[in-house]
């Protein structure tokens, strides 16, 4: 599934609820799912970790839809030509910095 397909699927299933909730409410759900992913990574089974990754991706697509952001374009614009920090396809940024 591509990012575009993910956004379309999520929009089809949830757009009316997502729009009613708005960006702030949707962001809070995304943060809750990120916390659940963190817990699963520490002590969850592989199936639980996979499920939480899926939830985070779904809520990220949801908030992008509400904010009218095309995730494919955003990713290509930022990472399509290499690391945004050093510009290389294999990051050569210092480990102490965030690329």
At 36 the pLDDT is: 98
> Can you read off the two tokens belonging to residue 32?
């809750």
CA distance 43 to 96: 28
Chain position carrying tokens 């575009």: 4
Count of domains forming the chain: 1
Residue 91 lies in a domain: no
- Calculate mean pLDDT across residues 1-30: 95
56: closest CA among 82, 84, 26, 78?
26
Confidence check: pLDDT of 97 > 90: no
At 98 the pLDDT is: 75
Range of the domain at 34: 3-68
Residue 99 lies in a domain: no
Output the CA torsion 77→83→85→90 (10° steps). Answer: -170
Domain CATH number, residue 41:
1.10.287.1080
- Calculate mean pLDDT across residues 75-90: 95
At 6 the pLDDT is: 97
């Amino acid at each position: 599934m591509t990012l575009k397909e993910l956004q379309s699927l999520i929009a089809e299933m949830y757009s009316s609820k997502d729009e009613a909730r708005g960006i702030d409410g949707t962001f809070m759900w995304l943060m809750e799912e990120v916390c659940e992913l963190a817990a699963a990574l520490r002590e969850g089974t592989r199936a639980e970790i996979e499920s939480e990754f899926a939830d985070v991706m779904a809520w990220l697509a949801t908030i992008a839809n509400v904010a009218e952001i095309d995730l494919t374009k955003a990713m290509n614009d930022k990472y399509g030509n290499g690391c945004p920090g050093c510009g290389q396809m294999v990051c050569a940024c210092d480990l102490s910095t965030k690329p």
